[in-house]
Structure 1
Amino acid sequence: MAFSRSLIRRTAALAAAAAAVVLAACGSSSEPSSSPSSSSGHSGHDMGAMTSGSPSAGGSMAQGGHNAQDGHNAQDVSFAQGMIPHHRQAVAMADLAASRAKSPQVKDLAAKIEQAQDPEIDTMSGWLRSWGENVPDAGMSGMESMPGMDHSGSSMPGMMSGDDMSKLKALSGDAFDKAFLHMMIGHHRGAIESAKAEQAKGAYGAAKTMATSIVTSQSAEITAMIRMLGKQ
């Protein structure tokens, strides 16, 4: 009987030990269930890092008023807003030549001015709209006497006053040709001055390219007009 009781106690001890081993194994196997949360936390950190590293909407504007996204600055805006009415006035002067000029050379020059400057007006207007800037009013051609559109008030050099334009409109024949050439020479010189400022201070590539074209083409036209005046 004593042997039987001893055997029972040893069997119970072994059973308890076996149960402890099973419980320990279960405890260790449950640990991976916590890994998804830690993994999720790591994933969230990565996502936060990716988000903070993405460019912000305000990052397109650099200091000094320069727009880093399309590369224009305040000088480009000033150039376009000044050159549009300047070109419109040149086109208005050229329009008069079709019916008032006597010289075929003057008429040909006027037609070339229209062909060159009308598309440039459209191009510069498109720039201003894309930049969210005001496009000068279409009535600003200098055909009417308006404040700020004469030599003393215009921001663009070379602009004719409303009185100048009215006088030109009243002329015809040789008198028109002579007045037109003198006025257009001064007008072109003003455009060249503004275009050179754009070349020096502008940032927008297309505007600087147009400015270079204006300097080149209108310098050549000034030379041609001076020759025309010498023949009159």
Structure 2
Amino acid sequence: MASHRSLIRRTAALATAATATVVLAACGSSSDSPSSSASGHSGHDMGAMSSASPSASASVAQGSHNAQDVMFAQGMIPHHRQAVAMADLAPSRAKSQQVKDLAAKIKQAQAPEINTMSGWLKAWGEKVPDDSMSGMKSMPGMDHSGSSMSGMMSDDDMNKLKDLSGDAFDKAFLQMMISHHQGAIEMAKTEQAKGTYGPATTMAKSIITSQSAEITEMNKMLGKQ
């Protein structure tokens, strides 16, 4: 008899446990549904945000430079090219080792900047100035002498420099490069004031600092300081 009662109690306990499991499962299902729905909406929202990001990034990229940045690169490239052309004359014509060393330093600094600025213009879909002295004459604001850009030498100036050697070359080179640097500094200051493209304004700052120091160095070579 006792054994029979024990069996009944165990059967009742199992039935109660089973009922509780069903109830809990039902509760869990109903409570999970809103959460699942919310989760679904959340995932959709995140997806929408992600899909919006590329266009937002594109807008930022398109607005990262302005007309001044383009003008700076298009003007400074031929300006730098002429400085490099002048520097290339020094090894075979200069008498002073100081002048030769300075020319090498100028070329080493400005040649990579030409490549960098050319890369900016290509990325922006803008025209890269022709890689020639004649290309400088076709730049906006240039007159037929090729010297209207601040600090640029005319064709006559460049031809005269090519014909010089020794002390005469050293003096002419330093005088012309000082004027050339002063022009570059003016252009760089305009970029700093009006440009919006970070790498371009940073380069402008570097040009102002380095070329100002070189002007001081060249004036000392000329005995002016």
TM superposition score normalised by structure 2: 0.70
Measured in 1, the distance between the counterparts of 2:49 and 2:97 equals: 67
Structure 1 residue identity aligned to 2:77: I
Q: Aligned pair count? A: 181
Which structure's residues are more often helix, by fraction?
2
Q: Could you say which residue in structure 1 is the equivalent of 2:52?
A: 55
Kept in 1: contact 2:66–2:196 (CA 8 A)? yes
TM-aligned CA deviation for residue 156 of structure 1 = 3.0
TM-aligned CA deviation for residue 161 of structure 1 = 0.5
1:154-191 CA distances to partner (integer Å, 9 max, x unpaired)?
A: 56310101110000000000000010001000000000
Q: State how 1:20-169 maps to structure 2 within 5 Å.
A: 55=52, 60-61=58-59, 67-68=62-63, 71-140=64-133, 146=137, 156-169=149-162
Measured in 1, the distance between the counterparts of 2:159 and 2:203 equals: 30
Q: State how 1:184-223 maps to structure 2 within 5 Å.
A: 184-223=177-216
Measured in 2, the distance between the counterparts of 1:153 and 1:140 equals: 8
Q: Which structure's CA Rg is the greater one?
A: 1
TM-aligned CA deviation for residue 140 of structure 1 = 3.0
Cα separation, partners in 2 of 1:166 and 1:137, compared to 1, 3 Å: same
SS in 2 for 1:157: coil
Cα separation, partners in 2 of 1:87 and 1:151, compared to 1, 3 Å: farther
Kept in 2: contact 1:199–1:208 (CA 8 A)? yes
Q: Could you say which residue in structure 2 is the equivalent of 1:227?
A: 220
Name the % identity.
72
Cα separation, partners in 2 of 1:173 and 1:53, compared to 1, 3 Å: closer
Measured in 1, the distance between the counterparts of 2:106 and 2:50 equals: 52
Measured in 1, the distance between the counterparts of 2:127 and 2:184 equals: 20
Kept in 2: contact 1:150–1:160 (CA 8 A)? no
Residue 179 (structure 1) aligned with residue 176 (structure 2)? no
Kept in 1: contact 2:150–2:183 (CA 8 A)? yes
Cα separation, partners in 2 of 1:151 and 1:225, compared to 1, 3 Å: farther
TM-aligned CA deviation for residue 72 of structure 1 = 1.1
Measured in 2, the distance between the counterparts of 1:220 and 1:155 equals: 25
Kept in 1: contact 2:88–2:103 (CA 8 A)? yes
Kept in 2: contact 1:97–1:107 (CA 8 A)? yes
Measured in 1, the distance between the counterparts of 2:76 and 2:154 equals: 16
Structure 2 residue identity aligned to 1:210: M
Runs of 4+ in 1 over 6 A off after TM superposition: 50-53
TM-aligned CA deviation for residue 73 of structure 1 = 1.1
SS in 2 for 1:230: coil
Mind listing any 5+ residue stretches in structure 2 that lack a counterpart?
A: 1-39
Measured in 2, the distance between the counterparts of 1:108 and 1:218 equals: 15
Kept in 2: contact 1:77–1:133 (CA 8 A)? yes
1:13-67 CA distances to partner (integer Å, 9 max, x unpaired)?
A: xxxxxxxxxxxxxxxxxxxxxxxxxxxxxx9xx98xx7699539876447xxx93
